[in-house]
């Protein structure tokens, strides 16, 4: 049996810990960049007066032109929306919601969302628009 001496210099570098760190940083970067996005991009109706509804912990309900609903960026149906809004209301009684409806969406979908907000007793509601030229 041959014995190795511990005093020999290494001629290669173990890069596994460095790669582990790089992957963790990449995952953190991906999570942080997607977490800052709120809602889904839609074509908002135009108004002359636009209020700034930016507050902390504001959730966005987005209604696309096709009538699909999203809570922030997660697709939901009417039942899931009501359930998640109830959970948000229990966690924060002063929960604020911004409804972002596409300018070409059916008015019925917007009214269904507003009725759901009323059933859940969320009163801090804003309607998102963009400034008219």
Q: Which residue positions in the chain have pLDDT lower than 70?
A: 1-6, 10, 34-40, 44-56, 132-133
pTM: 0.59
Distance CA 67, CA 79 (A): 15
pLDDT per residue as tens digits for the range 71-89:
988 899 999 999 999 999 9
Which has the closest alpha carbon to 73: 38, 35, 29? Answer: 38
CATH of 46-131, one of 3.40.50.2000, 3.30.420.270, 1.20.140.10, 3.40.50.300: 3.30.420.270
Sketch the domain layout of the chain as residue ranges: 46-131
């Amino acid at each position: 049996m041959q014995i190795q001496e511990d005093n020999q210099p290494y001629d290669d570098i173990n890069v596994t810990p460095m790669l582990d760190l790089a992957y963790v940083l990449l995952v953190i970067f991906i999570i942080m960049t997607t977490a800052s996005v709120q809602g889904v991009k839609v074509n908002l109706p135009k108004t002359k007066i636009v209020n700034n509804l930016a507050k902390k912990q504001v959730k966005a309900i987005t209604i696309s032109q096709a009538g699909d609903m999203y809570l922030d960026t997660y697709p939901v149906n009417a039942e899931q929306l009501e359930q998640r809004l109830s959970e948000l209301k229990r966690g924060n009684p002063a929960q604020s919601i911004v409804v972002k409806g596409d300018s070409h969406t059916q008015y019925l979908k917007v009214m269904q969302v507003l009725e759901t907000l009323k059933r859940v007793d969320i009163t801090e509601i804003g309607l998102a628009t963009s400034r008219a030229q």
